[in-house]
Amino acid sequence: MKELEKTYNPAEIENRLYEKWLKGKYFHAQVNKSKKPFTIVMPPPNITGQLHMGHALDNTMQDILIRYKRMQGFEALWQPGTDHAAIATEVKVIDKLKKEGIDKADLGREGFLDQCWKWRDEYGARIVKQLHKLGSSADWDRERFTMDEGCSDAVLEVFVKLYEKGYIYKGSRIINWCPVCQTSISDAEVEHVEQEGFFWHINYPVAGEQGRFVEIATTRPETMLGDTAVAVNPEDDRYQDLSGKMLKLPLTDREIPVISDSYVDKEFGTGCVKITPAHDPNDFEVGKRHGLDEPVILNDDATINVPGPYYGMDRYQARKAIVADLEAQGLLVKVVPHSHNVGTHDRCKTTVEPMVKQQWFVKMEEMAKPAVEAFKTGKLQFVPESFGKTYLHWLEGIRDWCISRQLWWGHRIPAYYCQDCGHVTIAKEAPRLCPECGQSHLKQDEDTLDTWFSSALWPFSTLGWPSKTEELEYFYPTDVLVTGYDIIFFWVIRMVFSGLEQTGRLPFHTVLIHGLVRDSQGRKMSKSLGNGIDPLEVIEKYGADALRMTLMTGNAPGNDMRFYWERVENSRNFANKVWNASRFILMNIEKASGGSAATLDSLTMADKWILSRANSLSREVTENLDKYELGIALQKVYDFIWEEFCDWYIEMVKPRLYNEADATKEAAIWTLKTVLLQALKLLHPFMPFLTEEIFCNLQEEEETIMVSQWPQYREEWSFEAEEQATETIKEAVRAIRNVRTSMNVQPSRKAAVYVVSEDEELLSVFERSRSFFASLGYASEVFLQKDKEGIGEDFVPAVLPKAVIYMPFADLVDIEKEILRLKSEEKRLTGELARSQAMLGNEAFISKAPEAKIQEEKAKLEAYTRMMEQVKTRLAQLRQ
């Protein structure tokens, strides 16, 4: 049997153990029909990514589940991979090229893509290596990339199938447009930021009614150039006569109608809403209902494209000019400060423009229905359940999905345009000739697909779909998806409807939602605030296990958590506690002859107690993990190891270990080893490195804890009577310690302990526990009796439900020394009282000192008075 180093040093063991696991292929899962599969797909981190606390939490939770299931005997696959992250990567590569003095356009598409692949080769594996540091036991032999050959084939397969089914189309609809990146972007990439702005109230003249106006309010005056109507609520009595009339659109030569639509909120603003169908999602829908035109007033770079005085102006420059002209014409009613959320591109921080553009879309209405049904029938479950409402709400209000992006990096749309007849061919492979006219002048669509289009296929494309692979048949559907609540809409829902549409099966049965990791003040970690914590820094300083434990301590599904350095230190202290306890046990095993118990009957009451508690713990932790209560499971293991095993049981057995003549020493050592092995296995999913190192030093039968059998509840290890009896002893020890603490008695001072009870069974419990009860209760001797014979008036009592424990006062306190100490304290307090009374009796002090200082001195006087009373009372008792 090996020996643990004197000091726990995570930096020394973690890299070594991870390499051992990789070399041993312990993370690798294979098709094994004799075992039940359990599969998790890793949310693919971006190839531009750097490990942050969100990644650390997300991957720790997945690793806990996969390690747990692996130990339970499942063929556990944690499928890893990375995402090409179209916009993020393109922005990074463009910035890199700019620093080198190279323009993207000069390289051309192929040259630029070559640079993107070089980026991926150089930086794509960075976050994977960082996940290694965390201890992630993903099957890295199966690592995938959203643009590898197989995943790309799946993307093309789905696009063609959906197009042929009529679900993919090209059309003009409202989308999010980034004027800087000059591409459409998904809702996931729009960050709503609160900004200070204004409501500009503007009068629109009623045509043919001199002096009559309709007042509207807008936060974007420049968009009035694209107004095609003003809407009022049909139930608003104020504007009944206006419906159907025409308004003069200020600063233009156009007239627009007043329309009635229930979309308008009568109570908000003026009750009249300008309708700009091409630049507002809600207005777009109103415009469709009323057959309104959709004039786009902005170029791709957000400059005005409307002929006239504002043509070519930047949108904000135009806003100032338009407001000035409205004021000059007497049409600006007022300007009201207004704080509102503004959509910005999360990459470049530019304000996004809603804009009608020709794009590729996926029809969502039909595909959403099975996804809704899956949730309503309980086939798809969320943990916590409340997030199911968010899922349902979004699906029931779903709009068609814009899937095209004006980027070069990504999956290029497989649409080929004939330059001769205009026919469009949708195919996985580029056609040689146009099927319509037979000509060869074909050009592929310039756009690429939304990154979410490929990641929506992740649970099955990573397993070989569209081919019918063994892996797909065995590992799909997957089991649990672990993700943050911020991407339920953008990723989870897309995976669900894609899985159902393409495979006929849900991609997973459970979605485990976690919250955000915030700083100690509860703020979201961000670069702008400078409050981000680098997980690698934490690992370097305290070890991966300490970080993992910190992230899971108090963790509840769906809830945000706060990061405190103090918690990391507590986690490190716990690791040290486990390490030191294990060293102690190992040293005693080395000294023992055999270290095995012949039968359970040879175990003492204390042995059976801890074995029974470990047995119950295995059942409880298993139940918690099965319900995804990871934080609760960890807390139970922590409490058991720290308090019951280390602070109680190890202290209970020390007298037996140190007594060579004790016949129960072998039983104690067997119990120590057995319970420690059980505890290490229960702790392993949470703290894999620490547990592996100790486990491999504690026994030689198994080469790793990773595939060791998960502890199962065993009826023969249940000792309810011994548990109750030991709890009684613990209660007695606590009562003794409380009395001694209240009297400032040092642990080194022993005292005789008398246990008085008429309950014979209770006395027999103390008899069976006499050796460790004496040790834990700092007893010089232990007397067990039914009455108070020999117990004097000066004995100090500690009361239990069915017994009273007495200790001679003289044993607890050296009376002469205590009298001297109390006299010294009495003298000190006399001086303090005199000083404080003199100050408060000094009129100069009272008149000049700040009120806070006076109150502070009064509080001191009260405290000294109470302390003096206690000292005098104690002295009187001792002198008696």
For the annotated binding site for ATP, the residues are 527
Q: Beta 751-756 vs 561-562: how paired, if at all?
A: unpaired
Query: Cβ distance 71 to 710 under 8 Å?
Result: yes
E-assigned strand segments in 618-760: 751-756
Cα gap 480→482, rounded to integer Å: 6
Cα gap 221→323, rounded to integer Å: 7
Q: What is the dihedral sign for C-alpha 751, 608, 633, 711?
A: positive
For the annotated binding site, the residues are 527
Q: Which residue has the tokens 């993107």?
A: 116
Provide the H-helix boundaries in 212-314: 281-290
Question: Following CA atoms 641, 647, 648, 654 in sequence, which dihedral angle do they give, to the nearest 10 degrees?
Answer: 110
Question: Following CA atoms 87, 127, 555, 574 in sequence, which dihedral angle do they give, to the nearest 10 degrees?
Answer: -160
Q: Beta 517-518 vs 561-562: how paired, if at all?
A: parallel
> Shortest CA distance to 8 belongs to which of 823, 759, 590, 576?
576
Count how many residues are written for the chain. Answer: 880
> Strand, coil or helix: what is 363?
coil
Q: What is the dihedral sign for C-alpha 770, 771, 774, 779?
A: positive
H helix or E strand, kind and range, residue 604: none
Cα gap 576→301, rounded to integer Å: 59
Query: Cβ distance 545 to 575 under 8 Å?
Result: yes
Q: Across the chain, which distance is largest between two alpha carbons, in Å?
A: 119
> Shortest CA distance to 563 belongs to which of 536, 524, 527?
524
Q: CA 381: distance to chain centroid?
A: 18
Q: Which residues are 432's β-sheet partners?
A: none
Query: Cβ distance 776 to 765 under 8 Å?
Result: no
Cα gap 757→769, rounded to integer Å: 16
Amino acid residing at 386:
S
> Shortest CA distance to 633 belongs to which of 65, 5, 172, 204?
65
The gap between the terminal CA atoms of the chain, to the nearest Å, is 60
> Strand, coil or helix: what is 768?
helix
Q: What is the dihedral sign for C-alpha 98, 102, 103, 109?
A: negative
Query: Cβ distance 691 to 681 under 8 Å?
Result: yes
